[in-house]
Amino acid sequence: MKLDFVNRFLLAKQHLSRDFRNSDVLQTVRDICALHATGIATPYLSLFARIENFKRKHLDEELYVKRRLGKIRCVRRTIHILPEETIPLAYVATKRKLLKDTAAFLEFRGVSTDEYEATSKRILEILKGKEMTTSEIKGILGPEPNISAIVEQMCDQGLLIRGRPTRGWRGKVQNYSRFDEYFPNLDLGRIEEVEAIPLLVHQYLRSFGPATENDIAWWMGIGKGQARAALHSIQGQTEQITISDLDGTFILLKSDEKRLNNTKTQDMQTVNLLPILDPYLMGYKIRDRYLSPEHREYVFDRGGNATTTILLDGKVVGVWDFQEDEKPVVKLHFFEKVERSAVSAIRIEARKIGEFIAEKPIQIKECDVMVPLTRKNAGGFLAPLKDS
């Protein structure tokens, strides 16, 4: 199978092709498995890239009003937004390692088991029928230094859930609610790990396949043995294929086989501007499918975090950055020469996303030079063209 066809197929599955953009937030999140939500603005910008006429209130309504989506820490110990029905799968499939790590952090902070049990019970009482920030919780409990760490552990245990930010869609301070009140009909214990992992692998392949065994293990944050066992349990639903220009064997759901074979290249170029940590970029361990190896240090930092990217027909051709100012600017940097028609299309998309962020007219600036992310301090991927 040709790589160009595979990338076209994946752009369609990820709702990044213009002909396959969606109008339904919930269905879009289901189709792409999850929204990466470590970056506060990332889920909004990921949906802006996939949904026609997307407004921030559309995601807020699903998260905080209808509550058909929820934010939990799961795969690779990172925060994701998932559909309600997927939350138990992701939670159970990843909780063993997650809880081990968060318990170690509590121990590092000097929080004893008794202190955690007592404080968490008080927090659950305080949050009955309410949502609060950690600062508000501290205001009731007093100057307890470990409240933030305890609240995070309670989220990872499925006792609390992260809620609405207090200062708009880019606000870093968020409210917390009791999980049993946020999702009163959701039972996190309804499934065992041995069932959850294969089901989540199937979900992953539905959104990101064809993918390798290594991709699956990396995305889920599990061992290769677990990934192999999960694939064995669903082997009747999968096929193995090879992709030109890529090494190894790729796994595809049988239900996707016909769709992939019918994929054709299109005359019109597909342009996307994706935010940091977008699912399309973070879906694979092996990135050669969409990124030339010589450009990797400009897209991923030393921690494996993906910066803001410019896609052309599913391949990364550069990065973009938003600079807040009296007259906001969207900066563009191209790795190599891009056709004039493609640059014009990219500038149109840059103006759209810039005005979505700024809510007013923006300028566009092209930058000739970029410092590799691997040479920047931690967090450099958040503003890749800051010094350009």
Residues 123 and 208 in one domain: no
Q: Per-residue confidence at 265, pLDDT binned at 50, 70, 90? A: low
Instruction: For 111-141, write each residue's pLDDT tens digit.
Output: 999 999 999 999 999 999 999 999 999 999 9
Model-level pTM? 0.95
Residue 249 lies inside a defined structural domain of this protein = yes
Residues 44 and 153 in one domain: yes
Residues 69 and 170 in one domain: yes
Tokens of 69: 């989506």
Residues 176 and 314 in one domain: no
Residues 155 and 97 in one domain: yes
Angle at 229 between CA 224 and CA 234, to 5 degrees: 125
Number of folded domains that form the chain: 3
Residue 286 and residue 214 in contact, taking contact as beta carbons nearer than 8 Å: yes
Q: What is the pLDDT, as a whole number, of residue 168? A: 85
Residue 359 lies inside a defined structural domain of this protein = yes
Give the domain CATH number at 51.
1.10.10.10
Q: What is the pLDDT, as a whole number, of residue 267? A: 61
Q: Per-residue confidence at 369, pLDDT binned at 50, 70, 90? A: very high
Residues 254 and 315 in one domain: no
Q: Mean of the per-residue pLDDT values for the chain? A: 94
Angle at 161 between CA 207 and CA 139, to 5 degrees: 150
Q: What is the pLDDT, as a whole number, of residue 356? A: 97
Residue 270 lies inside a defined structural domain of this protein = no
Q: H helices of 68-192, where?
A: 87-108, 113-126, 134-141, 147-156, 179-182
Residues 175 and 309 in one domain: no
- Between the CA of residue 373 and those of 28, 290, 295, 365, 380, what are the distances in Å? 30, 18, 10, 20, 6
Instruction: For 136-168, write each residue's pLDDT tens digit.
Output: 999 999 877 789 999 999 999 999 999 999 988
Residue 283 lies inside a defined structural domain of this protein = no
Instruction: For 274-309, write each residue's pLDDT tens digit.
Output: 999 999 999 999 999 999 999 999 999 999 999 999
Task: Determine the structural domain holding residue 142 and report its residue range.
Answer: 17-182
Residues 329 and 205 in one domain: no
Last residue of a domain, one of 182, 209, 238: 182
